[in-house]
Amino acid sequence: MARLFSILSEVIAAWQAKDVEAVLAHMADDIVWHYAAPGMPPVRGKAGAEKLLRRFQADMHDIQWRIFNHAEAGNLLFLEGVDDYRTTDGKRMAVPYAGVLEFQGDLIIGWRDYVDLGVIAAQKAGEPFTAQVEALLARKAGR
């Protein structure tokens, strides 16, 4: 397994286990985290990242975060994946995205996930998944 992707795999495992401290252990103190680029401002710093992680985890259940494809160049890891989970009120959310992670050594210092906030809003409103979202979800997860 490629080096940076193996680190991300540890983050995913920690996230699915709802182990916030283990996720934070992979982040640099001065991380800049665009969790919904380009529509939302980034969270800057580990303290802000922790606050965001705890807020997310309160409303994310049965997390099936998976990665379809990835590639590395130097300190950059590119990926395509889906954040797939259920909200506390039982709605399934499945948001396809592309992400770019910048590493400083083994720590993530920049994290940019590009998503469509309109897709998220529609799913939160209970609308059925569109055909194009279903097609993106149907891909085989990569290794």
Partner 1 sequence: MTPHRRAFVAGALGLATVPTLAKATVPMTKFQVLEAVIAAWKKQDVEGVLAHVTDDIVWRNSGGFAPAIRGKAAMRQALTAMAAKIKANAWRIFDYAENDHRLFMEGVDEFWFHTGEHIAIPYAGSLEFRGELIHEWREYFDGRLSIAMKNGEPLSDEVKEMIGRPVAR
Which residues in this chain contact partner 1 in the complex, by CB under 8 A? 34, 36-42, 69-73, 76-80, 95-100, 112, 114-119, 130-133, 135-136
Selection from 60, 82, 65 nearest residue 138 by Cα: 82
Between 14 and 108, CB nearer to partner 1: 108
- Tell me the closest approach of the beta carbon of residue 71 to partner 1, in angstroms: 4
In whole angstroms, the minimum distance from the beta carbon of 17 to partner 1 comes to 27
- CB nearer partner 1, residue 53 or residue 82: 82
* Residue number with CB closer to partner 1 (29 or 69): 69
Please state the closest distance from residue 1 (CB atom) to partner 1, in A. 13
Rounded (10°) CA dihedral 32, 113, 27, 63: 140
- Distances from the Cα of 50 to the Cαs of 67, 120, 140, in angstroms? 23, 22, 31
Give the E-state strand segments of 21-140 in sequence order.
Answer: 27-37, 43-44, 66-73, 76-86, 92-104, 107-114
Nearer to partner 1, 14 or 79 (CB): 79
Q: Alpha-carbon distance 114 to 35, whole Å?
A: 8
- Tallying the residues shown for the chain, one arrives at 143
The CB-of-62 to partner 1 minimum distance in angstroms stands at 21
